[in-house]
Structure 1
Amino acid sequence: MGKLDGRVILITGAARGQGEQEARLFVEEGAEVVIGDILDDQGEALVKELGSRARYVRLDVGREADWAAAVAVAKEAYGKLDGLVNNAGILRFNTLVDTPLDEFMQVVQVNQIGCFLGIKAVAGELAAAGGGTIVNTASYTAVTGMAAVGSYAATKHAVLGLTRVAALELADQGIRVNAMCPGAIDTAMSNPALLDPTADAEGMAKAIDGLYRKLVPLGRIGRPEEVARLALFLSCEDSSYITGQPFVIDGGWLAGVSVI
């Protein structure tokens, strides 16, 4: 038996990277999965690979109408909705004083408003299904500061606030809400060169690996499948008495600095 047998879960930003690994693992564990993204070709290809227990829906998380459509797809395909993983997010590098307002608001629209709209869109369906789970993807930067990612850090702090409030407000409906706080994870977000066919992605990956060998006590960058396993834990009965909590998954980075 799988840990998610009989459950229907919507995962945003699931066409690639961390969300893709979550979708794969959740299907392996018995769930029916609705893959939401704006990367249509990649999303459709993933669904074709995963088979009848997966559906793709175009979902711009900053658009309320897209959320309504995604929930409708889940109900039409599988009859209900039991869970949500708010995975979609974007990152922009800039100092605060050099960040244009349009850039700041773009990050807010996806990371913060997207999370808010997701909670709002699914809460009623989860309650109707007898309860469920919401897993919000925050960040290492939600619990500390980091230069050059001010807009991202601000939105991820906001995701923790939304998580705690939603956990309080939805508990009596049997809905648990928690947040994951990944550190550096080996995806295109951490290494944009992976998306550029003209870039030296392998060389950049080696440079990033060398950096995190110095910064992270466990001596390496994280893998998206490791975050997927945390998402699974927070979406299944193994975490049945946990709600309103942030879970840092960062290889020990937040623990401090070693001078040895």
Structure 2
Amino acid sequence: MRFQNKVVIVSGGSSGIGLETGQRLSGEGARVYNLDIVESEAVGSKFIPCDVSSFDQVQNAVQSVIAAEGKIDALFANAGIHKFGTIEETAIEDMQKIISINCFGIFYLLKAVLPVMRKQESGSILLMGSDQSFVGKGSSAAYGMSKGAIAQLTKSTAIDYAPFNIRVNCICPGTCETGLLKKAVTGFNQLSGVSESEIMDMLEGAQPIKRVSKPAEIASLACYLLSSENSFMTGALVPVDGGYTCQ
């Protein structure tokens, strides 16, 4: 098994892509620690309550993993939120929340985990990007900004930590059938008045493959990117988007 005796932290592992990835990692032998604000009964994962927008909580959670395991082999910084809206439609509070979770949440995880991996001289890190790490979308000012920032953070961190045998990559899903999507569709419905079924039809039709992805399809790639099978890949932004960004 690819992750036999490996210790892996997954943020936002209680639902969606994080949940599916954590279960797959566990099934392949990993000891998975799920950092989330919502408890999950996912088989094989150990839950640590953690709001990633708080550096103190992130640091405490990471230290508890170190105390239990003595090492961290891999990190999937997956936790994030979405918000539809132009700049005028985005409240200051919403922008602050997006940045605090999507950007600072990942920065805090890196800040807490990288010293451990640097001392080990090994580690694999995967950050959660988006098709919006490559392209812009309408009514997505705050979310698109956050995912563009993560793309650049991936590259600079990969360069800085390559000498320590730490790989840093970014998975960039397109539209995926998760609770996050459901909330986003409801939000766009409230802003635009377009029905949720029409919104889903538009989202599916925008993909060359003519459907949105399922969490299992993203998790499959996430596990590969976290594994030693891609030992020469670092600093990569990897799309898994049904062809959306190749148009």
Using the size of structure 2 for normalisation, the TM-score is 0.91
Task: Please report how far the alpha carbon of residue 207 of structure 1 lies from its aligned counterpart in structure 2 after TM superposition.
Answer: 4.7
- Report deviation, 1:125: 1.1
1:73-132 CA-to-partner distances (Å, cap 9, x unmatched) read 212332211111010000111111221212111100000111111111100111233301
Q: Which residue identity is paired with 1:88?
A: A
Structure-2 separation of matches of 1:194 and 1:27: 31
> Which residue of structure 1 lines up, in the alignment, with residue 237 of structure 2?
246
Partner residue in 2 for 1:192: 183
* Correspondence list, 1:141-160, <5 A: 141-160=132-151
- One-letter identity of the residue aligned with 1:162: L
Residue 20 of structure 1 corresponds to which residue in structure 2? 19
Where 1:220 maps in the other structure, the secondary structure is coil
> Counterpart of 1:219?
210
Which residue matches 1:95? Answer: 86
Q: Does 1:57 align with 2:31?
A: no
AA aligned opposite 1:13:
G
Question: What is the aligned partner in structure 2 of residue 5 from structure 1?
Answer: 4
Mapped to 1, the partners of 2:142 and 2:231 lie a distance apart of: 33
Question: Using a 3 Å threshold, how does the CA distance of structure 1 residues 211 and 181 change in structure 2: closer, same or farther?
Answer: same
C-alpha separation in 1, matches of 2:22 and 2:117: 19
Distance 1:193 1:122, change over 3 A: closer
Matched length:
239
CA shift in 2, pair 1:243/1:87, >3 Å = same
Residue equivalent to 2:165: 174
1:118 to 105, 109, 115: 109
Cα separation, 1, equivalents of 2:169 and 2:234: 5
Contact 1:95 1:147 in 2 (8 A): yes
Unaligned segments of structure 1, at least 5 residues: 196-202
Task: Answer whether contact 1:209 1:220 (CA < 8 A) is retained.
Answer: no
RMSD: 1.8
List alignment gaps of at least 5 residues for structure 2.
187-194
Contact 2:207 2:243 in 1 (8 A): yes
